[in-house]
Chain A
Amino acid sequence: MSSFDMSQYLNVFLDEAEEQLEIMDEGFIKLEQNGDDADLLNKVFRAAHTLKGASASMGFTNMAGLTHEMENVLDKLRQGEIGVSQHLVDVLLECLDALGQMKQEIISSGQDQGIQTDDLVTKLKQAITQEEGSGAIPESKSDGRLERERKAGFALSDLTEVEKNLINSAEIKGYYVYRIKVELSPGCQMKSVRAYLVFNNLEDVGEIIKTIPSTEDIEDEKFDNSFEIFLVTNEDQNKVSNIIMSISEIEAVSIIPVSLSNRDTDRASSELHNEQRQKTETQAGQQAQQKQGKAAPKIQVQPKKVSQTIRVDVERLENLMNLVGELVIDRTRLTDVGETIKGKLGADDVVESLEEITVHVGRITSELQEEILKARMLPIEQVFKRFPRMVRDLAKKANKEIDFIVEGQETELDRTVIEEISDPLIHLLRNSIDHGIEPPDERRQIGKPEKGTVKLNAFHEENQIVITVSDDGRGIDPAKIRQKALEKGLITAEAASRMSEQECINLIFTPGFSTASQVSDVSGRGVGMDIVRAHIEKINGIIDIDSEVGRGTTFTIKLPLTLAISRSLLLRVRENVLAIPLVNVVEIIDVESDKIYSMQNQEVTVIRGNVLPLFKLDAVLGWPPREEKTERTKLPVVVAGISDKRVGFIVDTLIGEQEIVIKPLGDYLGQIPGLAGATILGDGRVALILDVRGLVEHTGVRSGYEQAN
């Protein structure tokens, strides 16, 4: 195999491994909650099995070895031989971590030998012995019954009523029914093929009415080295045994005659029966076949479920997005030009067709844009699915009991946003668990259920994604926050006394408010909340806190659907058209010029009892001052918000809302404070996109609408 081929397979393998690891991760956590769920157990067992097979075929023996051991444990769980315990789940999760490390190792160095698995294997084995010692009594009982039945020549516990009927009627017609156990050679490579040959050959002499495990599982090689068949035939045991043994790689065959009646199992001696059998042979054969059509599994080659997806390089999607951006601009231009031509030529056939084409092109462009946007969308599950495990581990570490509820995983958002949102969410969840949820004792004392609840939710709201992280913990005490901020010198005593409770709570977002080492002093949160906010603002999002002492805290994050296209408010300052992303626009107000006051050299106005600092947008942007041609009586003001800060920007005129494609200003200019990029308008002109965060920072406004005295 050439190295190129190998690397291709490696990628497929890594993708698959990732997938199986995720299934197991999710499964183990659920297992811990739900106990013995047969479907779930089968699912994780299959995942372990698949991974074992895949890693073995790629030559990653270390990984295959560990998954093999895990598979053993899971199989025992599945068979009900042992029960699920927290300890067992712990060990399994540890194994999963090791597998994750191996995967990383494979990515970086192409081999998987660096991770020690001996300890884990021992732990797994110990866990099995422990569990076997404790919770498996009822199972051994049923095993005993099965064993007795076997000895007596029966093995009927695995049969359904339909199958029993089948056996019954076959018996009446003088057929033998055998339960055949086929063992494949240990080194057998294509087990399903061997099994298929066994089935095929046996069907020449009789009918298979049941297999254990099911034929589907056998086809998928979901069995160890042996499987069992219930066969209806008129051949004797030796013949059947010979038929099977004629196939290579069969280790052993054991045949047990099955009988539902009390008759002697050795009916071959009865000549009467033999005669009867011959008479009715054809008939019975037909009947048996008919019945089988309904009840008995046959080997069916089920088409493998082909997933209707392809992997596409992200860069290609980005390119497509850019190209569509161009189209969007040209669409608008086309409309403009059409209007101009119409104005010049008036009603004309050609103008009419042009209009028609323009409308059509417009519609298609919109659809294209939407589809490509969708193609870049991923369900937020991509991020959320990692959290149950994390929450579990953190809760355990903190000795807290936590019910973690996740909702809205299917909510889709742009992959660029998804990449950025993970870290802030981890931070918030961590805080909820560490500081929000009280220890079980404390909760009991104050009459709360011992188990705390942390809830993660995502949903669409208009053109935004809303993600909430809420807990029913102790909440944030504004008084403590205020005191802490005073101690740290972040606010003056005078400012502190004027702050509302909400403003106090918002102080936790102030840089330098808290560092990890000091968290325990504060009731509530504070670990790097400024970092959380910075992250969210980086992707044009906003974060709000809603907290009640003793009742819990909810963080609400609002994010744009995509970073490439933004709905923006277009406005004019002098000859320049500027765009402000709508996410950052709180409201638009008209301020009468006599309602503008001066407070400490700062222009302000009062809206709804709150003081709003006002700035001339051109001045903030650093354009030189100009003379007002006419004194305006009403000034349009855009109230912009970033986190809890509110600032009013005085503009010349408002133009309206528009979807704009964000383009970078390029390497030459680099990052310019207050600008997020530029976009091209319908008339081909360039409009600058404002970076509200940068602008607000530039104004030096610290927080909120200030309370009017």
Chain B
Amino acid sequence: MQEEKKTVIEEQLVVFQLSGETYGIEIANVHEIIRMQDITDIPRTPDFVEGVINLRGRIIPVIDLRKRFDLEVSEYTQASRIIVVEVEGVTVGMIVDSVSEVLRLPTNNIEPPPAMVSSVDAAYLRGVGKLDEQLIILLNLNKVLEKDEKEQLKDESLQEVAAALEE
């Protein structure tokens, strides 16, 4: 990823709207963009997990990105879309308000995320891109799709191991 940034001058982004702000994710991660469809509820999952859908025979989990970022929840509309992304072998659908365009953003227009740029926790952001006075918030998909609980679990078990070693 780091090396890519050095050599590639432009990044291709899928740009979408969420709660009045414009976000971008790298097109390489985007599997496809589909309309809203019936979602089967899965019990005992975090609130932001809406359930699963059937994507041509594959069972794909779908998360609501507004809920994921603790933004204000709204009804789905005709414009709502599910962006199916694949990150490190894990495929997940993300519900967004609407998808606007695919655009090219020169890498030197990207800046590290300032603390107060958006309503989303800076931990989920990769940077901020500026294009024709438009601000595009770039998401760090790895972080977005990371399961907090899992991470905590890992840390805890690691701590246990560490504690055991100290004794």
Contacts and interface: CB of A to CB of B under 8 A. Distances in A.
Interface of B: 38, 40-45, 49, 51-54, 57-61, 89-92, 145, 147, 150
Given A621-B44, A678-B40, A688-B42, A668 B92 contact: yes
Interface string A300-343: 00000000000000000000000001100100000000000000
Contact of B90 (A325, A666, A685, A686): A666
Contact of A680 (B45, B54, B91): B54
A665 B44 contact: no
26 contacts: A326-B57, A576-B40, A621-B43, A622-B43, A622-B44, A665-B42, A665-B59, A666-B59, A667-B89, A668-B145, A669-B45, A670-B147, A672-B43, A673-B44, A674-B43, A677-B59, A678-B40, A678-B52, A680-B54, A684-B54, A685-B38, A685-B40, A686-B51, A686-B53, A686-B54, A686-B59
A680 B61 contact: no
Give the dominant DSSP class at A's interface: loop
Given A665-B52, A686-B53, A672 B59 contact: no
A664 interface: yes
A245 interface: no
Interface in A666-707: 666-670, 672-675, 677-678, 680, 684-688
Given A668-B90, A670-B150, A686-B54, 13 more contacts: A621-B43, A621-B44, A665-B52, A666-B90, A668-B91, A669-B42, A669-B49, A669-B52, A672-B42, A678-B52, A678-B59, A685-B38, A687-B40
A678 B42 CA distance: 10
A4 interface: no
A684 B54 CA distance: 7
B151 to A, nearest CB: 13
Contacts of B92: 668
Contacts of B43: 621-623, 672, 674-675
A326 B90 CA distance: 21
A664 B59 contact: yes
A688 B39 CA distance: 12
Contacts of A667: 89-90
Top 8 nearest A-B pairs (CB, nearest first) are A686-B40, A621-B43, A622-B43, A326-B57, A622-B44, A678-B59, A668-B61, A667-B90
B37 to A, nearest CB: 9
Nearest to A326: B57
Contacts of A325: 57
A443 B44 CA distance: 56
Contacts of B49: 669
A17 to B, nearest CB: 38
A389 interface: no
Contact of B45 (A326, A672, A685, A686): A672
Of A664, A668, A670, the most chain B CB neighbours within 10 A belong to A668
Nearest to A330: B57
Contacts of B91: 666, 668
Contacts of B52: 665-666, 669, 678, 686
Contact of B61 (A666, A677, A685, A688): A666
A485 B61 CA distance: 45
Nearest to B41: A576
Contacts of A623: 41, 43
Contact of A688 (B38, B40, B54, B58): B40
Nearest to B63: A668
A663 interface: yes
Of B38, B42, B145, the most chain A CB neighbours within 10 A belong to B42
